[in-house]
Amino acid sequence: MNEKFYITTAIAYASRKPHVGNTYDIVLADMIARYKRMMGFDVYFMTGSDEHGQKIEEYAKQKGVAPKAYVDETAATIRRVWDCLNVTYDRFIRTTDADHEAAVAAIFKKLYDQGDIYKGEYAGKYCVPCESFFTASQLVDGKCPDCGRDVIDAKEEAYFLRLSKYQDRLMAYYEQNPDFFRPESRRAEMINNFLKPGLADLCVSRSSFKWGIPVTFDPDHVIYVWIDALSNYITGLGYHPDGSGDLYKHYWPADLHVIGKDIVRFHTVYWPIILMALGEPLPKQVLGHPWLLSGEDKMSKSKGNVLYADELAERYGTDAVRHYLLSQIPFAQDGTITIENFVNVYNADLANTLGNLVNRTVAMAGKYFGGKVSRPAAPPAGVDADLTATARETVDRYVALMDEYRNADAAAAVFNLAKRCNKYIDETAPWALAKNEADRPRLEAVLYYLLDNIRLLSVLLTPFLPETAQKIACQLGLADHTARQEELAVNALAGYAVGTPEVLFARLDAEKEPAAWAAAHAPAEHPAPKAENVVTIDQIGIEDFAKVELRVAEVTACEPVPKADKLLKLTLNDGSGVPRTVASGIARYYTPDQLVGRHVIVVANLKPAVLRGVESRGMILAADNGDTVSVIFADDVQPGSKVR
């Protein structure tokens, strides 16, 4: 039986369509899975979507749909993007799948029954976008250490996992398994930032929202993301505390978790401890890969620098996107993408180096020998021997790099062989050999060595560019080609019967293409309103505006107004020393814990009004675009400051 290899990706959060930076995870894992299959491993590859949590509940509310309907649509989008990138996963798990929810509920109950989970109260800092709790010492300049955003004070009843109980055991596992971290530098981050300061017990339930897997013995709580999402790696194989299936018994423990560097803590601290508490084996290795940045920044819709993989694939081809992702992100450093860089890499590697090599070699074999070329009887010598040696060195280097998951370096090695083949054409000048009948044996030998190296390139490229590898094989007359380890031999085939040359990658106009892309993907412009539809705004003088006093105030408390679906009661610190109460019609768009600790702008000299029994002394500023309402925050400004 072939050696098993179980590989997973972090499951994508089903809040929005993933951008191209989010797709590196899945493409990298697919490359590794394809390589392992090629090398004879029994591979199981799982990915999926993380579909519970406060943010999704809020997004669904803003859209006016049930959370399940919201994630059904988003999960389908995620899967469509994965499929457009030619990803060969065996299961796409959703955390709303019935088998996952049942197993997670049972996991929580088991950990509670054995004393590893206990009930308490959380009070501390909370990052809403990351759905993460932090101690004050973990913050960076007072902000979330993962995303850099502001955190809020949060307090609620919750269940906790006893991380501290397993700290020494986890440290021992690190010492006994030096290959657990990839890159190895991630180990120091976890030890210095989390284990040495001492692990605080982990909040594993929430009671302030409802969109999650209920705690079976306490329905006021839902199971928080870390036990829910992380457990997918075992529930997707059929794990259940009451008895697991054959798939789990065969493939677990995971051989590799492929994740982004920002969630290494969850996979190398929380997840191993959950497994220890369950009495299950720990994963063998965690690969915390770097990010793909847009220029020098993280991709963000608010920054307007987002690129989407499916849109790139539609215009340039799936393999062009895969090639950029897998060749341009170093092993331990962030990569970067712009349309200009993408076009330059496309032209240099795919159109020029690879595409030109395949096209002109196949064309020459057809033109000079009717497509049929045989292996020379004599062993290679001179430049032929040098090319052969380069090919063998490339295979050895490629295997070593791929076994270490150094995909960018492996891609560079493959394209260096392609460049050597192009140099070999210049050295041997086949067009000159074709002029003399006496040189035909030499010409055939040259073309054989070129064709065999192109065949080798197609095998090496299969994990990276599967569609292109198959197209190359077809042009070489190897339509039934399936990349296998034994095909990494050099000068292996007796001969070739090539087909018609086809352009693999048409060269792009490097000067015009970025503008063409921008024009094709520019935000839709709204037509100017007709004259009869123009709304005239009454103008006021500066003296009228001067009558309005705007002040920055901190939300110190917030709660729903009874029997008023639209109203929230906010208690504000406006710097005066006297708490101010404001009733605001934003309950459809914000939950109280999203507002507590935030700084808002309040109309401080508005006449008081009583709304549903609440005396409202002022009004907070918010923007209304018809579909949603967004409060205008001023978190960097001290309470009491005047807005002028």
- Answer yes or no: is 559 within a domain: yes
For the segment 277-290, what is each residue's pLDDT rounded down to a tens digit?
999 999 999 999 98
**Structure tokens belonging to residue 279:** 């009495």
For the segment 251-266, what is each residue's pLDDT rounded down to a tens digit?
999 999 999 999 999 9
- Answer yes or no: is 450 within a domain: yes
- Answer yes or no: is 225 within a domain: no
- Answer yes or no: is 220 within a domain: no
Domain co-membership, 367 together with 433? yes
Sheet strands (E) in 296-374: 335-337, 372-374
Domain co-membership, 360 together with 474? yes
Domain co-membership, 480 together with 569? no
Domain co-membership, 493 together with 546? no
Position 618 pLDDT exceeds 60: yes
Sorted by sequence, the CB contacts under 8 Å of residue 11 that are 6+ apart come out as 47, 48, 49, 50, 93, 95, 229, 232
Q: Residue 529: which pLDDT band, with cuts at 50, 70 and 90?
A: very low
Q: Which residue range(s) make up the domain with 573?
A: 542-643
The residue from 497, 524, 554 where one domain ends is: 497
Q: Residue 527: which pLDDT band, with cuts at 50, 70 and 90?
A: very low
Domain co-membership, 620 together with 490? no
- Answer yes or no: is 439 within a domain: yes
Query: What's this model's pTM, rounded to 2 decimal places?
Result: 0.79
Domain co-membership, 373 together with 430? yes
Domain co-membership, 469 together with 577? no
The CATH number that applies at residue 347 is 1.10.730.10
Domain co-membership, 488 together with 361? yes
The residue from 497, 527, 552 where one domain ends is: 497
For the segment 179-196, what is each residue's pLDDT rounded down to a tens digit?
999 988 888 889 988 888
- Answer yes or no: is 550 within a domain: yes
Domain co-membership, 356 together with 486? yes
For the segment 133-178, what is each residue's pLDDT rounded down to a tens digit?
777 777 888 888 877 788 888 888 999 999 999 999 999 999 999 9
Distance of CA 288 to the CA centre of its chain: 11
CA distance 538 to 542: 13
% of the chain with per-residue pLDDT over 90: 68
Number of domains in the chain: 2
Domain co-membership, 473 together with 561? no
For the segment 19-56, what is each residue's pLDDT rounded down to a tens digit?
999 999 999 999 999 999 999 999 999 999 999 999 99
Cβ–Cβ under 8 Å, residues 521 and 364: no
- Answer yes or no: is 532 within a domain: no
Position 531 pLDDT exceeds 60: no
Position 553 pLDDT exceeds 80: yes
Domain co-membership, 355 together with 467? yes
Cβ–Cβ under 8 Å, residues 394 and 460: yes
User: Which of these ranges, 125-129, 406-410, 413-417, has the smallest mean pLDDT?
Assistant: 125-129
Cβ–Cβ under 8 Å, residues 270 and 226: yes
- Answer yes or no: is 112 within a domain: no
Cβ–Cβ under 8 Å, residues 317 and 295: no
Q: Which position has the token pair 């408390």?
A: 557
Q: CB count, 10 Å around CB of 310?
A: 20
Q: Residue 542: which pLDDT band, with cuts at 50, 70 and 90?
A: low
C-alpha to C-alpha distances, 478 to 119, 282, 372, nearest whole angstrom:
63, 42, 13
The pLDDT of residue 72: 96
Domain co-membership, 465 together with 555? no
Q: CB count, 10 Å around CB of 421?
A: 24
The residue from 474, 497, 520 where one domain ends is: 497
CA distance 42 to 605: 71
The CATH number that applies at residue 563 is 2.40.50.140
